[in-house]
Amino acid sequence: EVQLVESGGGLVQPGGSLRLSCVASGFSLSSYWMGWLRQAPGKGLEWVANIKGDGSQIYFVDSLRGRFTISRDNAKNSLYLQMNSLRADDTAVYYCARLEGGAAPGPFPYDSWGQGTLVTVSA
Amino acid sequence: ETVLTQSPDFQSVTPKEKVTITCRASENIGTNLHWYQQKPHQSPKLLIKYASQSFSGVPSRFSGSGSGTDFTLIINSLEAEDAATYYCHQSNGVPWTFGQGTKVEIK
């Protein structure tokens, strides 16, 4: 069974940093593109970034590039989101999700999602 | 950036009724359009991929259609467990974007 478990969320002051982790099980992480998405309280879904199975290709939403970094450690079955210079409007549930297509690039949907981890940016 | 506009924003429906949700894209995205269901306090779940293909395990009452800029999600014979917010999502071009969501409430 495919499982994605996020962790690392919490309360952080404006300007602070957090690193989110997502541990995958039930499949070979290295064989899949993965992504991070977020959802502000009571709001819709927002795409953050995707990363190729070997980490060699990354796509990021323009508004977060430079403050956020996506990475992965396939040996640890883990995906990461490093978030710096956090602002109040970064407050959201952050989800990691698997892209359906495996290692190939393409316009794939997200076929598995984690339960999410809440990041709250507040003084 | 491709903007996805869903309608309606909210729908209150009686069980066994048919629900129709539309998603309009600001540019041609072919069939690179997917639908997700999100129940309260849960993560989204994939329902329909590439506009009309049912994802594994999804009940047959969910169907999708469309291409280009206009897409539709249909729920035939709504069940109480279908109370949720439904999102369309385009993966045709970066940045990937989502519709604002359609909340379906059971009367």
pLDDT at A105 over 80: no
Q: CA-to-CA distance for A77 and A63, rounded, in angstroms?
A: 28
Tokens of A105: 């690039």
**Residue B55: HSE in the Cβ half-sphere, 13 Å Cα cutoff:** 19
Sign of CA dihedral A1, A116, B40, B35: negative
Q: How far from B57 is each of B53, B60, B64, B67, B71, CA to CA, in Å?
A: 12, 9, 15, 23, 22
B56-107 per-position pLDDT tens digit: 999 999 999 999 999 999 999 999 999 999 999 999 999 999 999 999 999 9
Tokens of B60: 């047959």
- Supply the pLDDT for residue A107: 87
Tokens of B78: 């709504």
**Interchain contact A27–B (C-beta under 8 A):** no
Shortest CA gap A62–chain B (Å): 8
**Interchain contact A73–B (C-beta under 8 A):** no
Query: Which residue on chain A is closest to B56 by alpha carbon?
Result: A111
Other CB atoms within 10 Å distance of the CB of residue A68: 21
Q: Is B38 helix (H, G, I), strand (E, B) or coil?
A: strand
Sign of CA dihedral A107, A109, A114, A117: positive
- Supply the pLDDT for residue B2: 97
Cβ distance B106 to B78 under 8 Å? yes
Q: CA-to-CA distance for A103 and A17, rounded, in angstroms?
A: 30
pLDDT at A57 over 90: yes
**Interchain contact A44–B (C-beta under 8 A):** yes
Cβ distance A82 to A17 under 8 Å? yes
Which residues lie closer than 8 Å to B37 by C-beta, 6 or more apart? B44, B45, B47, B82, B84, B85, B86
Q: Is A90 helix (H, G, I), strand (E, B) or coil?
A: helix
Nearest CB to B43: which of A59, A61, A95? A95
pLDDT at A94 over 90: yes
Check CB contact under 8 Å for A47 and B92.
Answer: no
User: Can you tell me the mean pLDDT for A51-74?
Assistant: 95
B12-67 per-position pLDDT tens digit: 999 999 999 999 999 999 999 999 999 999 999 999 999 999 999 999 999 999 99
